Amino acid sequence: MYYYHFSVIISAWLVGLLLFWRVRTLTPNEQTDVKLPAASIIIPARNEEKNLEKLLKTLKDQCGNDDEVIIVDDDSSDRTSQIASDFGYSAVRLIGRPPEGWVGKSWACWNGYLKSNRDLLVFLDADVELSPSAISAFKEKYLKSGGLFSVQPYHRMERPYEKLSLFFNLVVIASIGSFSLWKSRSMGSFGPCLVCSKKDYEEVGGHGMIRNHVLDDIHLARLFMKNGLPVTNNLGGSLVRFRMYPDGLRSVLLGWGKNIASGAGKTSLFLLLLAVLWIAGVFSASLYLPFLRETALIIGFTAYFAYVLQIWSVSRKLGNFGFVVSALYPLFLLFFFAVFLYSSIRTFLFRSVIWKGRKINVLPR
């Protein structure tokens, strides 16, 4: 019985190897002789006074004279617009809730696009932290890839509760399809950093075509692919970072809870089955340990340690989770299950989620 169980665990570990085979990070621009396009850098911001100042400082140091920065203040109740003004930018002010049929972030991104005057669009979340060479790396990577290019920032964490995001990060990377052994089409993009040409954005319809979707990054990528345009994804590495949920445990619950169940529903069936198999193996490797004896216990610990090493080798590229977090992964996996249950109830029963003080309706209705 135990040996059959171990064969399943080993198979699931190999599935994880396939899912995370080509995890790659963004590298600095090395072609200094190539003329880079001017960009409209669009920052949707709702109550982001704590984050916006850090981002704007880094942009001041690296934006060229031809670049423009557009901050969209999405009905903030804090000093978001004042921070923008302090840096010499006049924010686009949106008052009240988005119009019927629009989700807040898509509405803010769309209004930023309407004010843009450059050939390249760079959409950045306000909590993104850029290295001095990040914008040039975005531009250079776009020139190579075309279509839609996105970056998942390195997850910087300062407090222990933030590391509860471990399995959410892993599942997002596994389910997007960009980093597997086989070269499959990307199943989505990463919302914090999106780069495309204004021409392509207009031709596919941009955020106006996905106005009512919470998962704007997934639907925008599919919109580009539907129109025959490539989608390329990278991890931020040392160039792009963010601190996702600095406001306490509740922000982790609401942040991941707003879209993790919807995201599972939008994942391709093949990738979803592989991710579920891998999660099942991760869970089983720890579940049976207390019940094993003698030789089986040795094999069980070997299997458990193999998963610890696999989780650590991938997660260290995603954020500063650390080896101890990987060694204690069953605790973080239980939190993942709890939030997924919460997200499923909110999404499929109440058909709405809560984020940044807004109740957001979730499709389908």
Instruction: Name all domains of the chain by residue range, CATH numbers in brackets.
Output: 2-21+265-361 (no CATH), 39-246 (3.90.550.10)
Separation CA 26–CA 138 (nearest Å): 9
Instruction: Check residue 19 and give its pLDDT.
Output: 93
pLDDT digits (tens, 9 = 90+) for 289-309: 666 666 667 778 888 999 999
| Residue % of the chain over a pLDDT of 90 | 65
Is residue 2 predicted with pLDDT exceeding 60? no
**Axis-axis angle for helices 329-344, 269-287 (nearest 10):** 130
Per-residue pLDDT for 128 more than 60? Answer: yes
pLDDT confidence of residue 291: 65
For the stretch 259-271, pLDDT in tens is 888 888 778 888 8
Residue pair 201/223 in contact by the 8 Å Cβ criterion: no
Question: Cis peptide leading into 246, omega within 30 of 0?
Answer: no
Range with top average pLDDT, 142-146, 162-166, 290-294 = 162-166
Pair type for strands 92-94 and 352-355: unpaired
d(CA 89, CA 92): 9
